[in-house]
Amino acid sequence: DSVVDFYGVHQAGIQTPPQDHLVLMVFDVTTASASELQVMLAKWSAAMAQYSKGVPVGAVEPDRDQAVPGDTGEAYGMGPNALTLTLGFAPSMFDSRFGWAKYKPAIFSDLPAFASDALTPEFTGGDICIQACAADPQVAYHAIRNLARMARTTATTRYTVQGFGRASAGQGQTTPRNLMGYKDGTRNIKTDDELDQFVWVGNESDQSWMVGGSYLVARKIHMLIETWDADYIADQHAVFGRTKAAGAPLTGTGEFDTPDFAAKGSDGALVIPANAHVALAAHENNGGVKILRRGYNFTDGIDSVGRLDAGLMFLSYQKDPAQFVSIQSRLGASDRLNEYIRHVGSGVFAVPPGLSGAGDYFGKALF
Ligand code: HEM
């Protein structure tokens, strides 16, 4: 049973090769008291370290008959299952409530609106985000549930998304598939050098408390599954610019062949259409910008009119939210995929660096 270190220079759950399961929870802070917030963050940080080792916080079965169990128990004896817990603060945390305004990084604010956005308030905004990833869904859920319980009277749950399969590849992993059936994560960031270049906040930051951290963008993207499932295969290939089974670019035969965005067919048209998803998103066509994608497939059952309610819980990490903004500006305006997806939720979070050890806690530098 594998353990991922909770303490370290960077938070776990970013570079960590994506585990199979996700529970994402976004909280609204309800207290107006900075000291209550501080206590909650300190309690959370200590508890997260325990959960990452598979250790409950408080008794599952207290000695006294009248005592309420400290831990809810459903992960008791299950082990750590590579659980990672990753925390981030939304721009709203740096308003006037807690005295944090002076700590707001200059590059950090709410995301702009994008063409083709269909955001709903239920899945947008919030104050604090916790991403739980694990090899077992119950272990991930247990951690989030107990953190939410611990926060009672200080923060409430705004929304939660359960991801049941990774839809991105990390270091040393094979490429999984998203719910459209395509390999997802083929050209993701995979090397330490690229992480330094594109993901970890460095000394360029105007806020020293963010050095070693990153910025998380969370987009709940609904897929119009019925429409997609009725599309013919050549069009599906053109939407992504890749083949389905092999995951190869339309200009190659193997998954890892480098796409040729200039190649033309005998009809004179580009082989990878200019509005194909990968043509618009690729760093070659986007000023060299890359992001670390770490998304998950999700389903919420069926919607109010009986359609499958499912999609991609898109998560990306970058050292500057502008990296996501530049790619999504292009995708939102012209991505051929837009016919089959709707961005229904959105959030951006400043993810501080990792904690140094027991006694350290998220936000410590901000109080
Ligand atoms: C590539 C699917 C949304 C950024 C890909 C690939 C697939 C895919 C199948 C090709 C394989 C790969 O290299 O990973 C999807 C689906 C989405 C979605 C189904 C929505 C439901 C997004 C969003 C962004 C994004 C919102 C960022 C704003 C990228 C990037 C690449 C990529 C940067 C790599 C392109 C390259 O370098 O060739 N995506 N994607 N995707 N996607 Fe998405």
Sequential pLDDT tens for the chain (367 residues): 799 999 999 999 999 999 999 999 999 999 999 999 999 999 999 999 999 999 999 999 999 999 999 999 999 999 999 999 999 999 999 999 999 999 999 999 999 999 999 999 999 999 999 999 999 999 999 999 999 999 999 999 999 999 999 999 999 999 999 999 999 999 999 999 999 999 999 999 999 999 999 999 999 999 999 999 999 999 999 999 999 999 999 999 999 999 999 999 999 999 999 999 999 999 999 999 999 999 999 999 999 999 999 999 999 999 999 999 999 999 999 999 999 999 999 999 999 999 999 999 999 999 9
* pLDDT for 64: 97
Most informative mutation of 186, 225, 240, 278 for ligand 1 (most atoms within 8 A of CB):
278
Q: State the distance from the centre of ligand 1 to the C-alpha of 251, rounded, in angstroms.
A: 17
Instruction: Please provide the DSSP assignment of 38-52 as one string.
Output: HHHHHHHHHHHHHHH
Mark out the alpha helices in the chain (DSSP H runs).
Answer: 34-52, 137-150, 192-198, 225-229, 233-240, 277-281, 321-334
Return residue ranges of the chain for CATH 3.30.70.1030: 1-90+125-166
Q: State the distance from the centre of ligand 1 to the C-alpha of 316, rounded, in angstroms.
A: 11
Query: Residue 187: CB within 6 Å of ligand 1?
Result: yes
CA dihedral 102, 7, 193, 349 (to 10 degrees): -40
Interatomic CA distance for residues 104 and 93, integer angstroms: 9
* pLDDT for 320: 98
* pLDDT for 33: 97
Strand pairing category for 292-293 and 128-134: unpaired
Strand pairing category for 214-223 and 341-351: antiparallel
Cα of first residue to Cα of last residue in the chain, in angstroms, is 37
Instruction: Yes or no: say if 127 and 90 are a contact pair by the CB < 8 Å rule.
Output: yes
Q: State the distance from the centre of ligand 1 to the C-alpha of 305, rounded, in angstroms.
A: 28
* pLDDT for 220: 98
Interatomic CA distance for residues 253 and 138, integer angstroms: 39
The model scores a pTM over 0.80? yes
Q: Name the E strands within the chain.
A: 21-29, 84-89, 128-134, 155-166, 214-223, 292-293, 296-302, 308-318, 341-351
Strand pairing category for 155-166 and 292-293: unpaired
Instruction: Yes or no: say if 262 and 285 are a contact pair by the CB < 8 Å rule.
Output: no
Interatomic CA distance for residues 122 and 274, integer angstroms: 34
Pick the CATH number of 1-90+125-166 from 3.30.70.1030, 3.30.420.40, 3.40.50.150, 3.40.50.1950: 3.30.70.1030
Interatomic CA distance for residues 253 and 259, integer angstroms: 10
The string of pLDDT tens digits covering residues 198-224 is 999 999 999 999 999 999 999 999 999
Query: Residue 324: CB within 6 Å of ligand 1?
Result: yes
